[in-house]
Each structure stands twice: as C-alpha cells, then as structure tokens.
Amino acid sequence: MTREDLLEKLKLSRPAVTVVGLGGAGCNITTWISDKKLAGGKIIGANTDANHLNSMTRADKVMLLGEKLCKGHGCGGYPERGAQAANENLAEIKEELKGTNLLFLVAGLGGGSGTGAIPVFAAVGREVGALTIACVTIPFTIEMTRREKAREAIKSLAENCDSIVVIDNSKLREVAGNLPLKEALSVANALVGSFVKNITDTITQPSLVNLDYADLRAVMERGGISSIGIGEGDGATRVEKAVSQALATPLLDITDISTAYGVLIHIVGGEDMTLEEVAIAGEQIMDKIPNTKRVIWGAKVDPGLAGRVRVMAVITGVTCPFLSGIPKPVAAPAPTIPKEVAKPLRQAMEHMVEALPQETISRAAVFSREK
Ligand SMILES: Nc1nc2c(ncn2[C@@H]2O[C@H](COP(=O)(O)OP(=O)(O)OP(=O)(O)O)[C@@H](O)[C@H]2O)c(=O)[nH]1
Ligand SMILES: [Mg+2]
C-alpha cells in the first residue's frame, strides 16, 4: 500500500463528525472550537437570534431557526418557542445531519433557543443513527427557574441522546475560583469546547493511535448522564496529582463515582511525558472506579506544556441528586455501528504507525483497553 493509497483510505473511512452549537451559549462555544481549528468535523451554528448568528463567521453552516415564528429576534427564554422554532427547520436539520456518525450538540441550558431546540436535534441524531452526545451547562443555583427548565430539557434529551455531558455552572465557579460571571462563562466555553475538540481530534487524526470510533462508542453509547473532571499537575508525581484532582472535582455533583458505567480519559503533557506515566494514569482511574467495564484513554503531546500534564476525565453513567429520576437513555433499536467506518480506520492507523519512526509513535500514543 502506498502512502497515497493509505491517506485516501483514511479520508474515506474517517467517521463523519458534526458539532452543532445551539442558542447563544452553544454558538459561543462552537466559535471557541472554530478558533482552535477542529481538524475533522463540520461545525453548525443554530439560533433563533439572527444578530448573534451573524457573529459566527467561522462556522461551516449557520441555521436561523424558526424564521417565521421568531423573525430572527430570539425566543426570550421560552423553551417551547425554541422547540417550535427548531421544528420549523426540521427538513433542513435532517438534511444537514444525514450521514453523521458522531454528533455533538452543544448548548447552555436555561434560555429559550438552545434549551428548546436541543431535544429536536437529538431526535434527528437518533434517527440518522449517529452516536449522539449532548454537552450542556446548567445555570447557576441562584437562577432557580432557569435551572428547572434545564432539568426538564435534560429529561427529554435522555430519550434520544447516548450521553449527556453536564457541567454545572455553580460547580465550575467553585473549581475555578470565585470568578466574575463573564469569566466563569468563558471557562465553561473552553471546557466544553476542549471536550468536543479533544474527542474529535483523537478519533479523526491518524497521528493518534488506537482510540477509534468503536472505542468511543463503547464508552459513550447509552452512557446517560456524564460528568467531566479536570486536573493538572507538575513535579515527579504530576500524573497522579492531575488524575486525583480530575476525579475529585467533577463539574457536576454526582452521588457515587465508583458505580460509573464508563470512563474516557484524555491526557495532555509536554514532550517529556512518558508512556509509562500515561499507563499509570489509566491504572489509577480503574482502581478508583472498580465497577466500570469500559475505560478508554488517549494521550497527546503539547510542546507548550513542558513539565506539566493536564487530565480530562469523562465519567459516564453517573447519578446526580439534581437530576434524579431521569431515566437512562433508550438505546437505538439496532445499533448501527458503522463497521465499515471503524474497522478500516483502525487498520489504516495501524499501517500508518508501522510506517512512522518509532519516536513519533511514543510521542503521540493513545491506548485503549477494556477491563
Ligand atoms: N458557557 C456559556 N454559558 C452561557 C453563555 N451565555 C449564556 N450562558 C448560559 O446559558 C444559558 C442560556 O443562555 P443563552 O444561550 O444565551 O440562551 P438561548 O439559548 O440563546 O435562549 P434565548 O436567548 O432565550 O432564545 C444562560 O442561562 C447561562 O447560564 C456563554 O457564552 N457561555
Ligand atoms: Mg439567545
């Protein structure tokens, strides 16, 4: 196989990733992702607010939702209007999501547009057979009524999403220090944005070995409510520090981490990070979550991070007091795992790895393992 053949094969077998930002917050988060350059995915901004949508200059596509109903003026905090608006564009949404294998739906819950539209998009995601992951924030505890709307939206999302990654803004403020509101929101944007970007880059970029669409599916499919934790460390025990911190400070109040369904861990370190350190991180996590069957992890080198490591742990299938009573998402009738996507991609990656100098491999290693 020539290198050209290989690259061609990779291009054809790459899973199709679509990231949709919904409402004001969702669009802001996807703008963060566009700025950081998403390697292998399409970005769509969708909002009822024409003005805000107009600022999304780097999206691959913008969708003005409910033009007839909202006239481009937003929907004033009413999720029912947001849902109606999205339904007005149903044919367009179906057309845009056709062929998607992995769908990220990003929104700040609590307003009208994002909160109302996200379940409509999730239903289409399920219909086209995509692994559908919602990434949402819930409003601060002081925003009582908005928080209630967010809970309702998560309930209806649970019917059609595989995993719902929830970040509680109040929790974020605790973790990131008592930041002013605007800064806390930017931290949330960067966090949700890097979650989406890390996963997309990891499964679409051939430089990262072995974590593929099928692995991701194993952890996130029917994952239910999921929580993210982040940690950073330096010095001799940097990996342990970062992992402990990531697991100890989930950005959603969860009841019991030890019963989680699956874990995805993403580690970024400087050029001095060793494979052994990455492996230790994985072991450490498996010790903390003894009942989980599914653990996948990936690692990436960032030359700017000399001496430090950063860890992001996504823990799926958790229970959370605020979201109690929300059922686990119902699985798609017949899991349409596109083997034609996953298999050739893994094979092509393996071929490519063989062709790479040994040093490159150890710098960009990704492991996946099922316990
Ligand atoms: N992470 C993040 N959250 C935001 C941002 N702006 C607002 N939020 C949060 O998201 C919630 C919903 O706000 P928006 O996204 O502006 O609402 P919308 O979906 O556009 O809804 P309408 O404007 O009512 O049509 C708010 O209650 C905030 O908690 C942002 O830039 N980043
Ligand atoms: Mg808005």
Instruction: CATH number of the domain at 239, please.
Output: 3.30.1330.20
Q: Which amino acid is at 229?
A: G
CA of 296 to the centre of ligand 1 (A): 32
Domain boundary among 220, 241, 257: 220
User: Do 167 and 282 lie in a common domain?
Assistant: no
CA of 259 to the centre of ligand 1 (A): 32
188 within ligand 1 shell (Cβ under 6 A): yes
Lowest mean pLDDT among 70-74, 218-222, 271-275, 303-307: 271-275
**Does residue 153 surpass a pLDDT of 60?**
yes
4 occurs within a structural domain: no
Q: Which amino acid is at 63?
A: M
248 occurs within a structural domain: yes
Domain boundary among 205, 220, 235: 220
110 within ligand 1 shell (Cβ under 6 A): yes
Domain boundary among 220, 241, 271: 220
Q: Tell me what the pLDDT averaged over the chain comes to.
A: 81
User: Do 280 and 163 lie in a common domain?
Assistant: no
Shortest-distance atom of ligand 1 to CA 22: 19
Residue 279 structure tokens: 């492996």
Query: Residues with beta carbon < 5 A to ion ligand 2?
Result: 24, 49, 74
Which single residue is written with the structure tokens 């059609």? 160
Test site for ligand 1: of 51, 52, 121, 137, most ligand atoms within 8 A of the Cβ: 137
Residue 189 structure tokens: 């944007």
365 occurs within a structural domain: yes
User: Do 306 and 203 lie in a common domain?
Assistant: no
User: Do 292 and 258 lie in a common domain?
Assistant: yes
Residue 267 structure tokens: 């580690």
CA nearest to 101, candidates 40, 33, 58: 40
| Model pLDDT for residues 88-143, shown as the tens digit of each residue | 999 999 999 999 999 999 999 999 999 999 999 999 999 999 999 999 999 988 77
**Whole-angstrom distance, CA of residue 132 vs CA of residue 114:** 16
Q: For position 302, what pLDDT does the model report? A: 78
8 occurs within a structural domain: no
89 occurs within a structural domain: yes
Residue range of the domain that includes 251: 226-370
CA of 337 to the centre of ligand 2 (A): 35
Residues listed for the chain: 371
Lowest mean pLDDT among 54-58, 169-173, 264-268, 297-301: 297-301
148 within ligand 1 shell (Cβ under 6 A): no
The pLDDT confidence band at residue 73, using thresholds 50, 70 and 90, is very high
Separation of CA 356 from chain center: 29
Beta bridge partners of 161: none
Percent of the chain with pLDDT over 70: 84
189 within ligand 1 shell (Cβ under 6 A): yes
Q: For position 349, what pLDDT does the model report? A: 43
Model-level pTM?
Answer: 0.85
**Does residue 229 surpass a pLDDT of 50?**
yes
3-state SS assignment for residue 263: strand
User: Do 208 and 256 lie in a common domain?
Assistant: no
Count up the domains in the chain and report the number: 2
79 within ligand 1 shell (Cβ under 6 A): no
30 within ligand 1 shell (Cβ under 6 A): no
User: Do 213 and 106 lie in a common domain?
Assistant: yes
Q: For position 12, what pLDDT does the model report? A: 64
**Whole-angstrom distance, CA of residue 290 vs CA of residue 128:** 34
With a CB cutoff of 8 Å and minimum separation 6, the contacts of 309 are: 232, 233, 234, 238, 239, 242, 267, 268, 269, 270, 273, 277
CA of 20 to the centre of ligand 1 (A): 15
| Model pLDDT for residues 343-361, shown as the tens digit of each residue | 444 454 445 445 444 443 3
77 within ligand 1 shell (Cβ under 6 A): yes
User: Do 252 and 324 lie in a common domain?
Assistant: yes
169 within ligand 1 shell (Cβ under 6 A): yes
**Which parts of 98-168 fold into alpha helices (H)?**
113-127, 144-157
| Model pLDDT for residues 154-210, shown as the tens digit of each residue | 998 988 899 999 999 888 777 777 778 788 888 889 889 988 988 888 777 654 435
Cα-Cα-Cα-Cα torsion 266, 267, 271, 275, nearest 10 degrees, comes to: -100
**Does residue 40 surpass a pLDDT of 90?**
no
208 occurs within a structural domain: yes
Separation of CA 238 from chain center: 25
User: Do 23 and 133 lie in a common domain?
Assistant: yes
6 occurs within a structural domain: no
User: Do 109 and 235 lie in a common domain?
Assistant: no
267 occurs within a structural domain: yes
Q: For position 23, what pLDDT does the model report? A: 97
User: Do 93 and 215 lie in a common domain?
Assistant: yes
**Whole-angstrom distance, CA of residue 186 vs CA of residue 32:** 9
CA of 23 to the centre of ligand 2 (A): 5
Q: For position 358, what pLDDT does the model report? A: 42
Residue 207 structure tokens: 């430089």
Residue 248 structure tokens: 């100890």
**Does residue 251 surpass a pLDDT of 50?**
yes
Q: For position 196, what pLDDT does the model report? A: 93
CA of 110 to the centre of ligand 1 (A): 7
18 within ligand 1 shell (Cβ under 6 A): no
CA of 221 to the centre of ligand 1 (A): 27
What backbone torsions phi and psi does residue 365 show, to the nearest 5 degrees?
Answer: -90, 140
The pLDDT confidence band at residue 215, using thresholds 50, 70 and 90, is confident
Q: Which ligand is nearest to the CA of 76?
A: 1
User: Do 234 and 284 lie in a common domain?
Assistant: yes
User: Do 183 and 254 lie in a common domain?
Assistant: no
Residue 248: how many CB atoms within 10 A of its CB? 11
* CATH number, residue 148: 3.40.50.1440
What backbone torsions phi and psi does residue 92 show, to the nearest 5 degrees?
Answer: -65, -40
Strands 41-47 and 61-64: parallel
**Whole-angstrom distance, CA of residue 32 vs CA of residue 159:** 28
